[in-house]
Chains A and B, each alone.
Chain A
Amino acid sequence: MLKLSSEIVNAFLDPCISVFEQVISTSGTLEVNDTYINKLKVSPYEVSVSSMVSGDLDGKIVLSVSTEMAMEIAEQMMGEMINSLNSDAQSAITELVTMIVGNASVKLSKLNHNIKMAPVEFSYGSHVEIGSVECPYPVSISIKSDLGIFELDLAFY
């Protein structure tokens, strides 16, 4: 099993930034705000979209955003105003994370690491668990965009 390294972190971070910039034109240029070991082990914002992966890496990738930012992302992706995080908005954000993890799997394959992703899950209102007994120290990357700050969490066993 692979160990979490800067190469692995970048394989997820780079697609996260590029997909975000490509799909959400008003997000501006994204930059890393902070990187840390997530001692809280739960997602920091109320909207969490997670993908389980298996293969050369086993674990979970979580994108966590505030409700306000999630609504702005969904509006940008859908091209229409919304009043709540309805099922269409949830679907748009779910697709964003699918594209990020899918593109990361392409990047990892070029490094000869193969992962398989499971369908992405959307959670709202509760802070989802990121760390676990198998992964006590997940890596969290806080990313700044024109729409606000969000977090990408990587928890591999």
Chain B
Amino acid sequence: MSNIEGKTVMIVDDTSFMRKMLKVVLEGAGCTVVAEAGDGADALEKYQEHKPDFVTMDIVMPQMDGIASVKALRSIDPDATIIMVSSAGQDSKVMEAKEAGASNFILKPFEEKNVVNIISSVFS
């Protein structure tokens, strides 16, 4: 049993495939997916409506990218827990995400156990 069991999550990614993949992984770890968003603007709206325990956030997205979305979410809720899930994991991007307020970074493609371990580490 992981320490993320029972937590609510919002998945933000512009591809429906990745949202489904993450949903399967996170629900398998006992989380409840309360919202999904395809871009940053949609994420902001749904975050305020659902107030999830944590958010998984892609970086490359149309409208508002993941870094801008992290900044915007943290301005609404300074305690928001946001974990980046992106294939663009160069050091500068990871640093930028963390400076914006992201708690951790998961590089795509990922293994299921790594996703759960990395998110669990944020809550430990």
Hey, which bits of chain A sit against chain B, CB under 8 A?
19, 22-23, 77-78, 87-88, 91-92, 94-95, 98-103, 105-106, 108-110, 114, 117-120
Interface size for chain B: under 10, 10 to 19, 20 to 34, or 35 or more residues? Answer: 20 to 34
Note all chain B residues with C-beta closer than 8 A to A22. 109
Contact B87–A102 (Cβ < 8 Å): yes
- Asked whether, in the complex, the Cβ of A23 is within 8 Å of the Cβ of B15, the reply is no
Q: A98: which B residues are within 8 A, CB to CB?
A: 15, 60, 87, 108
| Given A23-B109, A119-B62; A88-B16 close (CB under 8 Å) | yes
Give residues of chain B (29-64) contacting chain A, Cβ–Cβ below 8 Å. Answer: 60-62
A91 touches B88 (CB 8 A): no
Nearest CB on A from B30, distance (A)? 21
Question: In the assembled complex, how far is the CB of residue A140 from the closest CB belonging to chain B, in whole angstroms?
Answer: 23
Identify the closest chain A residue to B90 (Cβ): A109
Q: Is the interface of A mostly helix, strand, loop or mixed?
A: helix
Q: Is the interface of B mostly helix, strand, loop or mixed?
A: loop
- A105 engages B15 (CB within 8 Å): no
Q: Is the CB of A95 within 8 A of B15?
A: yes
Known contacts A91-B16, A98-B15: A117-B109 contact under CB 8 Å = no
In the complex, whether B86 has a CB less than 8 A from a CB of chain A is yes
Residues on A with beta carbons closer than 8 Å to the beta carbon of B108: 95, 98-99, 102
Q: How far is the CB of A117 from chain B (nearest CB, A)?
A: 6
From B62, which residue of chain A is reached at the shortest CB distance?
A: A119
A121 to B86: give the CA distance in the assembly, Å.
17
Chain A residues near B91: list those with CB within 8 A: 109
